[in-house]
Chain A
Amino acid sequence: DSGVTQTPKHLITATGQRVTLRCSPRSGDLSVYWYQQSLDQGLQFLIQYYNGEERAKGNILERFSAQQFPDLHSELNLSSLELGDSALYFCASSGERALWDEQFFGPGTRLTVL
Chain B
Amino acid sequence: AQRVTQPEKLLSVFKGAPVELKCNYSYSGSPELFWYVQYSRQRLQLLLRHISRESIKGFTADLNKGETSFHLKKPFAQEEDSAMYYCALYTGRRALTFGSGTRLQVQP
Contacts and interface: CB of A to CB of B under 8 A. Distances in A.
B43 A31 contact: no
Nearest to B4: A42
Nearest to A34: B95
What range describes how many residues of B lie at the interface? 10 to 19
A45 B46 contact: no
B45 A45 contact: no
B90 to A, nearest CB: 6
Interface string A81-114: 0000000001010101000101111110000000
A90 B94 contact: no
B86 interface: yes
Nearest to A105: B44
A44 B44 CA distance: 14
A90 B101 CA distance: 15
A56 B95 contact: yes
B86 A43 contact: yes
Describe A's contact surface by its main secondary structure: strand
Nearest to B46: A102
Given A100-B32, A100-B90, A45 B96 contact: yes
Interface in B89-107: 90, 93-101
B20 to A, nearest CB: 20
B101 A33 contact: no
A48 B93 CA distance: 9
A105 B101 contact: no
A42 B100 contact: yes
A41 B98 CA distance: 10
Given A100-B32, A105-B43, A105-B45, A42 B101 contact: yes
Interface of B: 32, 43-46, 86, 90, 93-101
9 closest A-B pairs by CB = A42-B100, A43-B98, A105-B44, A45-B95, A56-B93, A105-B43, A102-B46, A56-B95, A100-B90
16 contacts: A3-B43, A35-B98, A42-B86, A43-B86, A44-B98, A45-B96, A45-B97, A48-B94, A48-B95, A56-B93, A56-B95, A100-B32, A100-B94, A104-B43, A104-B45, A105-B45
